[in-house]
Amino acid sequence: MINMPRGTQDILPLEAKKWQYVENMLRKISNNFCYDEIRTPIFESTELFARGVGDTTDIVQKEMYTFLDKSNRSLTLRPEGTAGTVRSYIENKLFAEVIKPQKLFYIGPMFRYERKQKGRYRQFVQYGVEVIGEESPKIDAEVISLAYNIYRSFGLENIKVSINSLGNPEERKAYNEALVKHFEPSIDEFCSDCKNRLYKNPMRILDCKIDAGHKLMKTAPKLLDFLGQESKNYFDEVLKHLDSLEVKYEIDHNLVRGLDYYTHTAFEIMIDNKEVELKTLCGGGRYNGLVEMLGGPAGEKGIGFALSIERLLLALETENISLPLEDNIDIFVVSMGEEAGNYAVKLTNDLRLAGFKVQNDYFDKKMKAQLKLADRYKASFTIIIGEQELEEKELVVKNMANFTQDRVAINEVIKYLEERIKGE
Ligand code: ATP
Ligand code: MG
């Protein structure tokens, strides 16, 4: 037997209902916030991610599924959604649209070669948004509020937003120099990744999972102290809007992203539950330098976030929140005798086309077995057809909730059910 690849999962029908519910909800909220869907390819040129995600990131260094196609092009299964979205924004000249900024969202599979863990897969589904074109603290606050309220709308209360400002590239340069000074004397006490990061990308030391407990982490210089007045004002504005939008947040000085095109706001949404190992549900931030870095016009600013549906579902599970899933059907058609059985096929089809969720028995089972099946399907109504009903052109319609039943003329049955099921 051939098994599924490590780090992937089969989503079986019962679980798929949860996914559908979550995806529908994400689409609905996106729509209310006026974000439109964009669908980009699942594989892109490897070069796009090397540049767009960054050569020094774990994603590019360790986690990409890269392959040569039959014409020796290097392609990569997308590990995240921002690079492809920004590429598409540039390639399709969305910057020339009348409405700016463009407010986009995506839902789709991403691929990373990672160590498998609960809530960490090699194929996982991200929902994300990107707001590209113009910049305003109001946009940053809207994006964070969207992410926050996605979790709230599923009933998750124990969440918090961690937020920081990364300022602009010059401010970060000064900060990076201060970090090198801070860590350099004791760098031997850190992991090999951190040693490599010290000169290449010192801010990423603050993000290290292995050395998170080291005493120098707590005493490290704070980026906020290196921000100029303009950056400080921008950050204050964002926070002011978050207050008025009633988004609960905490400033986290160690929340950093090392790449040059990240500017100003960076945030994460975490679950506040000790039992959950992977607490980060969602990450995002402003990337004012990215469009230009990928070959687009200068001055196009952007902000976005991404979350995975896997971790959202895991969070719901650990918080004991169940989704209101529909697991019943409207009608089960029971028939007795060959002629009635054939008619049941036609009636089932007619009722389905009239908009009801309907099942019948395919195998001319005994009445009792068919009623049992109706029960398993959790049918709200059962229609019973025998030879006599066919002759009299009347069907027995049973309401399974209160066990009442009516005889209904065949040509009245759709109307009868519409009144009772759709409330028409
Ligand atoms: P982590 O620190 O958990 O590796 P990350 O920094 O790599 O996360 P991002 O690239 O910011 O994550 O992706 C945004 C979100 O996507 C994360 O907050 C997380 O919820 C989710 N995510 C990332 N990698 C995976 C994965 N391998 N499986 C499932 N969800 C993931
Ligand atoms: Mg990761």
Q: Mean pLDDT throughout 56-64? A: 90
Ligand that comes closest to the CA of residue 124: 1
Q: Mean pLDDT throughout 90-112? A: 97
pLDDT band at 170 (very low <50, low <70, confident <90, very high): very high
Distance CA 130, CA 107 (A): 12
- Ligand 1 binding pocket includes 207 (Cβ within 6 Å): no
User: In this predicted model, which residue has the larger pLDDT, 201 or 390?
Assistant: 390
Q: What is the CA radius of gyration of the chain?
A: 28
- Among protein residues, the one with the nearest Cα to ligand 1's atom 17 is 282
- Ligand 1 binding pocket includes 267 (Cβ within 6 Å): no
Q: Mean pLDDT throughout 77-101? A: 97
- Among protein residues, the one with the nearest Cα to ligand 1's atom 21 is 308
Distance CA 363, CA 253 (A): 67
pLDDT tens, position by position, 289-348: 999 999 999 999 999 999 999 999 999 999 999 999 989 999 999 999 999 999 999 999
Query: 196 alpha carbon to ligand 1 midpoint, in Å?
Result: 22
pLDDT band at 277 (very low <50, low <70, confident <90, very high): confident
Q: How far is CA 46 from the centre of its chain?
A: 24
Tokens of 240: 């002011």
Distance CA 146, CA 116 (A): 29
- Ligand 1 binding pocket includes 58 (Cβ within 6 Å): no
Query: 164 alpha carbon to ligand 2 midpoint, in Å?
Result: 19
Pair 223, 204: CB distance under 8 Å: no
User: Given CA atoms 23, 27, 32, 38 in this order, what sign does their dihedral have?
Assistant: positive
So what's the pLDDT on residue 395? 96
Ligand that comes closest to the CA of residue 304: 1
So what's the pLDDT on residue 260? 72
- Ligand 1 binding pocket includes 305 (Cβ within 6 Å): no
So what's the pLDDT on residue 254? 84
Identity of the amino acid at 128: G
**Structural domains of the chain in order of their starting residue, each with its CATH number:** 13-167+227-318 (3.30.930.10), 331-422 (3.40.50.800)
pLDDT band at 197 (very low <50, low <70, confident <90, very high): confident
Say what percent of the chain tops pLDDT 90. 87
Q: How far is CA 314 from the centre of its chain?
A: 12
Q: Mean pLDDT throughout 49-75? A: 94
Ligand that comes closest to the CA of residue 123: 1
Distance CA 360, CA 347 (A): 9
Whether 73 shows a pLDDT value over 80: the answer reads: yes
Whether 125 shows a pLDDT value over 70: the answer reads: yes
What atom in ligand 1 is closest to the CA of residue 305? 14
Exposed, middle or buried, 13 (CB in 10 Å: 0-12/13-18/19+)? exposed
Closest CA to 21 of 304, 324, 248, 317: 324
So what's the pLDDT on residue 256? 83
Q: Mean pLDDT throughout 56-65? A: 91
So what's the pLDDT on residue 424? 67
Ligand that comes closest to the CA of residue 256: 1
Q: Mean pLDDT throughout 185-210? A: 90
- Ligand 1 binding pocket includes 112 (Cβ within 6 Å): yes
pLDDT band at 204 (very low <50, low <70, confident <90, very high): confident
Question: In this structure, what is the dihedral angle of CA atoms 270, 272, 273, 278, given to the nearest 10 degrees?
Answer: 20
Q: Mean pLDDT throughout 207-211? A: 87
Compute CA distances 121 → 60, 70, 88, 369, whole Å.
Answer: 17, 28, 26, 42
Query: 60 alpha carbon to ligand 2 midpoint, in Å?
Result: 11
Distance CA 241, CA 248 (A): 11
> Can you give the pTM of this predicted structure?
0.92
So what's the pLDDT on residue 272? 87
DSSP string covering 60-112, please? IIII-EEEE-TT--EEEE-S-SHHHHHHHHHHTTGGGSSSSSEEEEEEEEEE-
